DNA sequence: GCCAACGTTGGC
DNA sequence: GCCAACGTTGGC
């Protein structure tokens, strides 16, 4: 059982959108480190914190989702009309992967980035480190639990 | 909107 | 295989 932090710009797709849709294909990942983690380490049933990035005062952890389907070829890489087509990807050996995520819950309140920075137990989070740009990062169970606990305060 | 950090690209 | 240029990310 692994734990993750998955970030996204809420203008693009927010926790409210996931609440409405219940299950969503998490596509558009075009970073090799993230792809490798999806391929090698993401298992069905894993839990993930939903994090809103680039959202001003609303930046932070907003909810929980589960991995509903393990990595499979991301169809958007072959769609010229998608946001991130990759003409160099070979359909016989797709370069990019997607997973399905399922809505679990929306936090009663935002756990802001600033608040997470002030909590010692969360200092190991890669999301808090300068220059971190990975859209999906592994976290530890105590970190996951701490963020959930903060949301219930 | 600015800018620092980082990944990717492509010329050599 | 190096590295400068470029594009993107994301906090502020």
pLDDT string in tens for chain A (153-residue length): 999 999 999 999 999 999 999 999 999 999 999 999 999 999 999 999 999 999 999 999 999 999 999 999 999 999 888 888 888 888 888 999 999 999 999 999 999 999 999 999 999 999 999 888 899 999 999 999 999 999 998
Residue nearest to nucleotide C8 (CA to C1'): A133
Total Cβ atoms within 10 A of residue A151: 21
CA of A129: how far to CAs of A103, A109, A134, A137, in Å? 27, 23, 11, 12
For residue A145, give its domain range.
3-151
Cα A67 from Cα A137, distance rounded (Å):
14
Kindly determine whether the C-beta of residue A13 is less than 7 Å away from any atom of nucleic acid strand C: no
Of A60, A57, A52, the residue nearest A122 (C-alpha): A60
Q: What is the CATH number for A132?
A: 3.10.590.10
Number of structural domains chain A divides into: 1
CB A43 under 7 Å to nucleic chain C: no
A1-26 pLDDT, tens digit per residue, is: 999 999 999 999 999 999 999 999 99
Q: Is there contact between A36 and strand B, defined as CB under 7 Å from any strand atom?
A: no
């Amino acid at each position: 059982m692994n734990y993750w932090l998955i970030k996204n710009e809420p203008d693009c797709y927010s926790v409210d959108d996931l609440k409405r849709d219940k299950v969503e294909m998490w596509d558009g990942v075009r970073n090799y480190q993230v792809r490798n983690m999806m391929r090698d380490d993401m298992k069905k049933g894993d839990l993930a914190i939903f994090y809103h990035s680039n959202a001003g005062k609303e930046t932070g952890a907003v909810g929980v989702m589960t991995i509903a389907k393990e990595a499979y070829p991301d169809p958007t890489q072959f769609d010229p009309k998608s946001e991130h087509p990759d003409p160099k990807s070979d359909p016989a050996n797709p370069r990019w992967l997607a997973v399905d995520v399922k809505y679990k819950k929306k936090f009663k309140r935002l756990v802001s980035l600033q608040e997470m920075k002030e909590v010692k137990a969360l200092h190991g989070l890669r999301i808090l480190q300068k220059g971190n740009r990975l859209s999906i990062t592994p976290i530890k169970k105590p970190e996951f639990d701490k963020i959930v606990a903060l949301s219930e305060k």
